[in-house]
Amino acid sequence: MKKVTNYNNKKVLVMGFGISGLNAAYLLRKLGAEVVANDQATPKDPSIIEKLENDGIKVLTGSNPLSLAEDNFDVVVKNPGIPYDNPLVAKFVEKKTPIITEAELGWQIFEGHLVSVTGSNGKTTTTTLTQLMIAKNNSHRVKYAGNIGVSFSKVAAELGPDDTLVTELSSFQLLGTPTIHPHIAIITNIFSNHLDYHKTRENYINAKLNITRNQTSDDYLIVNWDRDEWQKIAQRSRATIVPFSRQNKSHKGSYEENGKIYWRGEYIMDAKDIRLIGPQNVENALAAIAAAKLSGVANQEIIDVLTSFSGVRHRLQYVTDYEERRFYNDSKSTDIEATEVALQGFEQPVILLAGGLDRGYTFERLVPYFKKHVKAIVVFGQCKDKMKDAAEQAQIPTIIESENAITAVPEAWKVSEPGDVILLSPANASWDQFPSFEVRGDKFIEAVNTLIKEQEEK
């Protein structure tokens, strides 16, 4: 961990008691800061507050009192999910108090080699593949952290100057990272996500581009080259651009051509041998390959990872086979684009489980994918009527309404046949019925296991 003195005797407010917030609070105390920790909710576990207070941290829960803005905080460390129009945050913006996220704090204490991944879809899979590949060819520690569910600052504090940290960074995190400087940055893709938070697509793009803001020509920005817009966005970086392309649009990085994977003209493997299914996972693999090759990883080590890694939980995760039906959990598909690419990964007939939080948009874009891939659909959640409308436009012969992703499982089973795929890929956020996409996916898996048990007991 890098020796940092700029927080000594500084007054810092930490907003949010998530994994990142709690670790930020403890780290700031170690760095000599006077810390106040605030959360709008009161933790159900009283030991959280007790531990904070025992560490000398002042704790305020149950609201974000505007009176905190009158205190002379030197820095605010904000949970990424708290929007900037939150009344308390807006007060600090007005006062021009520096507002950072825990990722920035992690970067400030990190002294090793940083690889960072962002994008609308594929971040977690790409982060995981990249970490596995680089670790194959490294005598030093190679860890992952960030939006992948592991505290950036906690892992950064454990690593030394020869170690590597591969970080997944969301647009929310990147808004609060003024000095972060990865040597290798990856942008998997940019769609139109989180516009309720960012307000405009340009704001969203600008947040993503913070990953490369401090890079120079000595650094690398790995970018998906398959859309003209993404190519133009890349030109806003000062880093050396390394493209990856599934559509064979550039040979200057990693690419797929005629079903084969290459790195700058050098054959690595056949795309069909990648264990993860779907075209989106070929893209994720290409991005990880570029980072691995720039890090000196040998081809065979790359092949070993891509032929053995079976997927990240909730991201087109294979669950099980039962009576010649195959179940997949793609609960992380919280937008239309993610469900589009999920459906393209299957040649078998799909029974799709879809629906969730109504964010105001409709699903006409899914109609051609429904026509090509979906034999039956079970819809649920706030937007089930809109999803049903798209299914009717696609003339899906079997459309079933259900309460949620759990009750949808036996409904899907009833209309399934041997050779079918039963796929949870909701195309919507989970918050109308579940606290997170992870909980939704876990409940789906539980429902699949319950279904199988009941079938075997008959």
The one-letter amino acid code at 268 reads: I
121 is in an annotated binding site: yes
User: For residue 324, which phi and psi values (nearest 5 degrees)?
Assistant: 65, 20
For residues 405 and 444, is the Cβ–Cβ distance under 8 A? yes
Residue written as tokens 């948009």? 361
Please give the structure tokens belonging to residue 73.
């905080």
Residues 6+ apart with CB under 8 A from 244: 222, 223, 224, 225, 253, 254, 255, 283, 286, 287, 289, 290
Query: E-assigned strands of 286-401?
Result: 317-322, 325-329, 350-355, 374-380, 398-401
Spatial distance between the Cα atoms of 440 and 120, rounded to a whole number of angstroms: 20
| In contact, 171 and 117? CB cutoff 8 Å | no
Q: What is the DSSP letter of 3?
A: -
Q: Which two tokens stand for residue 226?
A: 């398959």
Tokens of 336: 């239309």
Tokens of 86: 């939150």
Which of 436, 360, 427 shows the shortest CA–CA distance to 391? 427
CB 180 within 8 A of CB 153: no
Structural element, H or E, at residue 38: strand 34-39
The closest alpha carbon to 384, from 403, 365, 397, 370, belongs to 403
Q: Check whether 122 is labelled as a binding-site residue.
A: yes
On whether 170 is known to bind a ligand per the annotation, the reply is no
Q: Are 317 and 275 in contact (CB under 8 A)?
A: no
Return the structure tokens found at 246: 């599934």
Q: Please give the Cα distance from 201 to 223 (Å, whole number).
A: 18
Amino acid present at 356: G
Q: Which residues pair with residue 423 across a beta bridge? A: 328, 352
- Residue stretches of the annotated binding site for ATP: 119-125
- Residue stretches of the annotated binding site: 119-125
